[in-house]
Amino acid sequence: MTTTRERTGGPAIGRATRAREAPVEKKPRRGGQRRRAALAGLAFLLPALLIFGFFAWWPIAQSLVLAFQKTNLIAPAEWVGLRNFEILFSDPLLPRAALNTLWFTVLSLAIGLPVPLLCAVLMSELRRGGTLARVLAYLPVVVPPVVAVLLWKVFFNPGEGGAINALLGLVGLGPFPWLQSPDLAMPSLVVVATWSGAGTAILIYLAALTGVSTELYEAAELDGASVWQRIRSITLPQMRGVILVLLLLQIIGAIQVFTEPYVMTDGGPANATVTVLLMIYRYAFLFGNYGVATALSVLLAIVLVIVSAVYLRLTRSWSTR
């Protein structure tokens, strides 16, 4: 894959070289002009930076402060040191929520990664009806999440009349309690999350697939490669950059799962679907304890940063091979 490495490395090296060469090339009297131009650029950027800083970075900085305070957002905040973290770590629900979140993440990767990829590969092979397939695949993304989730709640009705149970009943299975069962509730939520998120992933995979050179497939076909061999040796390696980015986004998204447990199970039954984000929500908006909620948010953010860094480190060699 020499070509890929050159393509990836090329522009960066070029930029670096140009940057090094630049001072030598230009005449000294033009330096002031350049600096002024840079200053003007910065000045033009300033309003955007200020607005971005105010709406994006300021709340983050504020939340870091809030994690060490006790406040009801009306009376003046009071510094409490590490008290919020102490409360958090003494909460017996925290390990449960962390494990649940991990379980959700593992399940949603196990189902949520291969399904859209497989769909995209199959759809790219369609000779007819590709547009219709893409529309159908993307439709769940257009449905408002709460509506979709409530619809699924009806599908998951535990009685024999529930849509899924009725279907399974045709082949002599069930009825299953789905959301009413501590064991089945989380996998049920993963199915919903995968269903609602797959459309976007499929579109991205499809776009990436168009970038794979058809010559490679033709060559492979001439060599007598089977469909599976073509997918394994051409499609997947060619798409690995996209797959790795989507996988990371999926991990981050799964760890922050909220809508499904919030709307469908409220963390139940018996805490089987309480996630970290649901705990943050309850601390903040149910119990009015914003300090502890922010402390947990900060912890979650730290975990996400670590997970992302480790992930990028682990996959660096593979993604640039």
Partner 1 sequence: MHQRTRRALAALIAAPLLLGTAACTSAGGDASDGDAEQDVTITVMGKPAATNEAAVALFEEQVAAFEKEYPHITIEATDVPWDAKSFATRLAGGSAPTLLRVPLTEPPALIERGQVADIADVARELESFDKLNPRVMTFLERGDAVYGIPEKSYAFGLVYNRQLFEQAGLDPDRPPTTWDEVREYAAQISEKTGKTGFGEITTNNSGGWHLTGYSYTFGGRMIEQDSDGTWKAAFDDEPSREVLELWKAMRWEDDSMGAEVLGKQEDLVAAFSAGNVGMWISAPPDVYPNYINQGGDPDAFGAGPMPQGGGDATLAGATVLMVNATATQAEKDAAVKWIEWRALRPNVDLEAAAQTAEASAADGLPVGVPVLPIFDDATYEAYQEAIAEYVNVPVDAFAPYVASLSEFEYVPEPEVASQEIYAALDPLVQAVLTDPNADIDALLADAGNRVDTILAQHAS
Binding interface with partner 1 (CB under 8 A): 36, 39-40, 43-44, 46-47, 50-51, 72-75, 83, 87, 90-93, 157-159, 175, 177, 179-182, 265-271, 281-282, 284-290
Partners of residue 69 on adjacent β-strands: 79
| 291 and 79 Cβ atoms separated by less than 8 Å | no
Q: Which tokens in the block code for residue 192?
A: 């919903």
Between CA 24 and CA 12 the distance in angstroms is 20
- Least distance CB 159 / partner 1 (angstroms): 5
Nearer to partner 1, 235 or 289 (CB): 289
The nearer residue to partner 1, 281 or 311, going by C-beta atoms, is: 281
Q: Which residues of 72-107 are buried (b: 16+ CB within 10 A; e: fewer)?
A: eeeeeeeebeebbbebbeeeeebebbbebbebbbeb
Please state the closest distance from residue 89 (CB atom) to partner 1, in A.
11
Place of tokens 């449960």: 96
Smallest gap, in angstroms, from Cβ of residue 193 to partner 1? 18
DSSP-based helix, strand, coil % in the chain, nearest 5: 75, 0, 20
- With respect to partner 1, which residue has the nearer C-beta, 51 or 151? 51
Q: Is 79 helix (H, G, I), strand (E, B) or coil?
A: strand
As measured in angstroms, the least distance from the Cβ of 27 to partner 1 is 21
Question: Residue 115: what are its φ and ψ, rounded to 5°?
Answer: -60, -55
Least distance from partner 1 to the Cβ atom of residue 109, Å: 26
Smallest gap from Cβ 70 to partner 1, in A, equals: 9
Decide whether 125 or 266 has the Cβ nearer to partner 1: 266
Please tell me the number of Cα atoms within 13 Å of 234 on its side-chain side: 21
User: Considering beta carbons, is residue 100 or 235 the nearer one to partner 1?
Assistant: 100
Q: Could you tell me the smallest distance in angstroms from the CB atom of residue 92 to partner 1? A: 6
Instruction: Specify the residue, 17 or 33, whose C-beta has the smaller distance to partner 1.
Output: 33
- Pick the closest to residue 261 from 97, 89, 91, 95 (CA basis): 97
Shorter beta-carbon distance to partner 1: residue 140 or 187: 187
Helix axes 290-320, 58-66, angle to 10 degrees: 120
- Residue whose CB is less far from partner 1, 15 or 36: 36
Rounded to a whole number of angstroms, the minimum distance from the CB of residue 175 to partner 1 is 8
The HSE-up count of residue 134 (CA atoms within 13 Å, CB side) is 14
